[in-house]
Amino acid sequence: MGRRTKARECAFQLLYQWQITGERMEAVVASFWKVRSATPVARALAERLARGAQAKAEALDAEIAEAATHWRLERIAPVDRTILRLGAYELGDEAETPAAVVIDEAVELAKRFGDEGSPAFVNGVLDAIRKKLRGDVPRATEGAKQER
């Protein structure tokens, strides 16, 4: 598993724990690293992504709600909502990461942690957010391939 992939997985788990427990992010981060390990670089990226998405959760939820047509936000499974928050945050605030990488990594998280329909749902919602935030550049041609 690449360090960026591991960092995204850790960021997802941090965000999910924050969402489910309602604890302050500082407490979530402190307890998380007691049971999980990562390189300093992966850990720093995971924390940056998780803290960034947590800080903008309300705005990200609005983007998700708009893109997830025919779905009320509270009806989206917590796992999917967390993956979508992380992906939407990266699409909006991590512009150096190609959208294709962000979406592909989110779909992989959905395959691993979500249910059967999660990957397609996450892909569709994040692609709609990508179009709004980054324009209608085809995913396959956007940017050079980047290490995951």
pLDDT tens digits for range 61-93: 999 999 998 889 999 999 999 999 999 999 999
Nearest to 128 by CA among 71, 98, 88, 82: 88
Instruction: Give the closest residue to 61 by CA, choosing from 46, 79, 78, 81.
Output: 81
With contact defined as beta carbons under 8 Å apart, do 140 and 100 qualify? Answer: yes
Q: CB 138: neighbour CB atoms within 10 A?
A: 8
Q: Enumerate domains of the chain plus CATH numbers.
A: 3-138 (1.10.940.10)
Whole-prediction pTM value? Answer: 0.89
DSSP letter assigned to residue 35: H
Encode pLDDT of 12-38 as tens digits: 999 999 999 999 999 999 999 999 999
> What token pair was written down for 56?
């903008």
